[in-house]
């Protein structure tokens, strides 16, 4: 199998609509030698904040001297991003090697010509790759939900983490926040500690009841007290107090109000894993998480407007992104560049993101057939807002137009779909921006 053949095998799985279920995945993993049982896994579920948590915990554990695997989704520019060891992405050779093994396992379990789904293939490859790489820890992000997610084939995680819970993927997870919380809490295992984001009380109650039924000790992130916050576009400084270490001061390389609560969760997880305070500080100072309040370097283009990338793929994320625009771009003329997928609450997302902006450019990701047509997004915004509106289907043309219409000293805020953010980020990086 060549790299091109491995890619094609993966891309062909897009046509596989039916998930085979955790039972078939378990059979495939047994064929591969139960790689998931060789790993110390931190399993992370939630509606928002999962990726940031994974990036931060990976940085902290790496700072303590561990070899740390990290599996996240979706990717921004290349699927290699989904498989990291520290800051290193999976190589083409390792991708081919382990895809060959996954294809053999699929054939053994499902028969000739059959395949697992796109995400299931990624999960099988992740377990096989990280076990072979002998990582000390694997920080494992759930795809959708938790209870029936492909990653939940694991039996004995070291730690379960439930991040912020909101309304997303309702057609799969349920139409109430309680129902969604139950699905997310499906990753909790018997006697496995749980780190819990400071969710609303109704969500907190659902998850703590499930944890209690499984004798799973809860580490509430609410016990991590944050104060003395100072935020800029380039990072956040704050103090953290907890009985485990007293008070420490953190310089987080990420920004945005929501990252404070994500950081509280990460600190709670580090406490549950007995990580030293110095590693917490050093890890958070050096973490990088692309496409989340990421400021693209403008030093080579002093007359060009600032460009900020912020994936906000659901209403909860859009609300946080709008707050960041208000707080961190308060003195700038803002052009919103936005695209949203069809399966999202795109009307509310668009109205929320557009509120702090001075003008809006509607577009869509380059190759995503699930994107909402830009004209439909513009219609959702309506006429009452009084902002200039531009509709450009090709997102790279839309980006250039946003650059052209944004004045010197202004900012372009690219948000909505992470696929759009990835397209824009790739274009900017290819041009050395």
Query: Which sign does the torsion angle of CA 162, 160, 293, 309 carry?
Result: negative
pLDDT tens for residues 45-71?
A: 998 899 999 999 999 999 999 999 999
Average pLDDT, integer, range 368-376: 87
pLDDT band at 297 (very low <50, low <70, confident <90, very high): low
Residue 1 has pLDDT above 70, yes or no: yes
Percent of the chain with pLDDT over 90: 76
- What's 237's DSSP letter? E
- Residue 85: closest CA among 70, 101, 104: 70
State residue 300's pLDDT score: 46
Average pLDDT, integer, range 292-312: 78
Average pLDDT, integer, range 161-176: 70
Q: Is 172 helix (H, G, I), strand (E, B) or coil?
A: helix
State residue 12's pLDDT score: 86
State residue 209's pLDDT score: 94
- Beta-carbon contacts of 165 under 8 Å, excluding residues fewer than 6 positions away, are 46, 47, 177, 180, 181, 184, 197, 199, 203
Q: State the chain's mean pLDDT as an integer.
A: 91
Average pLDDT, integer, range 302-310: 83
The whole-angstrom separation of Cα 72 and Cα 218 is 24
Residue 266 has pLDDT above 70, yes or no: yes
State residue 173's pLDDT score: 64
pLDDT tens for residues 93-150?
A: 999 999 999 999 999 999 988 889 999 999 999 999 999 999 999 999 999 888 899 9
pLDDT tens for residues 185-200?
A: 999 999 999 999 988 8
State residue 13's pLDDT score: 85
Question: Length of the chain, please?
Answer: 433
The predicted model scores a pTM of 0.92
pLDDT tens for residues 326-361?
A: 999 998 999 999 999 886 678 899 999 999 999 999
Domains and CATH numbers, the chain: 3-286 (3.40.1190.10), 294-430 (3.90.190.20)
CB–CB of 370/308 below 8 Å?
no
Highest mean pLDDT of the ranges 29-38, 252-261, 291-300, 346-355? 29-38
Average pLDDT, integer, range 377-393: 87
- Beta-carbon contacts of 390 under 8 Å, excluding residues fewer than 6 positions away, are 359, 360, 361, 362, 398, 401, 405
Residue 302 has pLDDT above 70, yes or no: no
State residue 304's pLDDT score: 74
Please, where are the H alpha helices in 111-244? 118-132, 170-173, 177-184, 201-213
CB–CB of 128/100 below 8 Å?
no
State residue 369's pLDDT score: 73
Percent of the chain with pLDDT over 70: 94
Please give the radius of gyration of the chain, using alpha carbons only, rounded to the nearest integer: 21
């Amino acid at each position: 199998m060549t790299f091109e053949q491995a890619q094609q095998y993966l891309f062909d799985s897009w046509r596989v609509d039916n998930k085979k279920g955790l039972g078939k995945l378990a059979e495939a993993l047994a064929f591969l030698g139960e790689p998931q049982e060789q790993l110390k896994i931190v399993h992370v579920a939630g509606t928002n904040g999962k990726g940031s948590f994974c990036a931060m915990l990976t940085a902290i554990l790496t700072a303590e001297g561990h070899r740390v695997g990290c599996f996240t989704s979706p990717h921004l520019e290349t699927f290699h991003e989904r498989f990291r060891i520290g800051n290193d992405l999976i190589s083409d050779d390792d991708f081919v090697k382990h895809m060959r093994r996954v294809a053999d396992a699929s054939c053994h379990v499902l028969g000739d010509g059959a395949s697992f789904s796109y995400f299931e293939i990624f999960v099988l490859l992740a377990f096989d790759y990280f076990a072979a790489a002998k990582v000390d820890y694997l920080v494992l992000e759930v795809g959708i939900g938790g209870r029936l997610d492909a990653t939940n084939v694991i039996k004995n995680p070291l730690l379960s983490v439930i991040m912020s819970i909101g309304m997303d993927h309702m057609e799969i997870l349920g139409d109430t926040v309680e129902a969604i919380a139950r699905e997310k809490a499906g990753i909790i295992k018997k006697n496995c500690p749980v780190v819990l984001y400071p969710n609303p009380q109704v969500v907190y109650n659902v998850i703590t009841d499930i944890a209690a039924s499984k004798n799973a000790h809860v580490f509430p992130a609410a016990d991590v007290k944050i104060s003395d916050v100072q935020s800029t576009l380039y990072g956040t400084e704050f103090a953290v107090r907890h009985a485990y270490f007293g008070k420490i001061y953190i310089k987080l390389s990420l920004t945005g109000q929501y990252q404070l609560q994500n950081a509280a969760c990460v600190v709670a997880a580090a406490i549950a894993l007995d990580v030293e305070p110095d590693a917490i500080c050093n890890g958070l100072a050096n973490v990088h998480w692309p496409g989340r309040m990421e400021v693209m370097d403008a030093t080579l283009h002093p007359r060009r407007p600032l460009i900020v990338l912020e994936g906000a793929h659901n209403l909860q994320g859009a609300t946080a992104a709008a707050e960041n625009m208000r707080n961190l771009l308060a003195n700038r003329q803002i052009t919103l560049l936005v695209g949203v997928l069809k399966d999202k609450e795109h009307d509310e997302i668009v109205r929320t993101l557009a509120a702090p902006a001075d003008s809006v450019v509607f577009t869509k990701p380059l190759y995503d057939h699930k994107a909402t047509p830009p004209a439909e997004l513009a219609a959702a915004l309506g006429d009452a807002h009084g902002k200039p509106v531009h509709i450009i289907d090709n997102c790279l043309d839309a980006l250039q137009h946003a650059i052209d219409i944004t004045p010197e000293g202004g900012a372009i805020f690219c948000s909505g779909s992470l696929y759009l953010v990835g397209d824009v980020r790739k274009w900017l990086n290819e041009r050395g921006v």
